[in-house]
Amino acid sequence: MYLVHTEFLAPVGITAGALAELREREAAAARLLQESGVLQSLWREVDTTRAWGLWLVADETELRVAMQALPCSPYMVIDSWQIVAHENSLHPNNAHPRQETTS
């Protein structure tokens, strides 16, 4: 599982209509990724173009491929961290299903 932070930087000179169309395509792609279970959760920072997401993928390559499905990805600054459930979590079942657990 990966925690991903993105910041969308609108292309210089893009028209309002083209930006609206790009955002509609982005919303549709994000919806498909959520329906497929790849994009587990998505949050937006208030009054910004920054967002946080939990992505259920095996590795960075799979994450990169999934993120390339987003039409806005060429215009994003993207940071990601591989994460696992913390040993003190009250919700250990939220662990990545591919994550090995040790006793």
What is the pLDDT, as a whole number, of residue 29? 97
Give this prediction's pTM: 0.82
Q: In 3D, which of 63, 78, 70, 72 has the Cα closest to residue 7?
A: 78
Per DSSP, 37 falls in state T
4-60 tens-digit pLDDT: 999 999 999 999 999 999 999 999 999 999 999 999 999 999 999 999 999 999 999
Tokens standing for residue 71: 């039409």
Categorize the per-residue pLDDT at 101 as very low, low, confident or very high, splitting at 50, 70 and 90: very low
Radius of gyration of the chain (CA): 15
What is the enclosing helix (H) or strand (E) of 25? helix 16-35
Domains of the chain with CATH codes: 2-86 (3.30.70.1060)
pLDDT of residue 98 exceeding 60? no
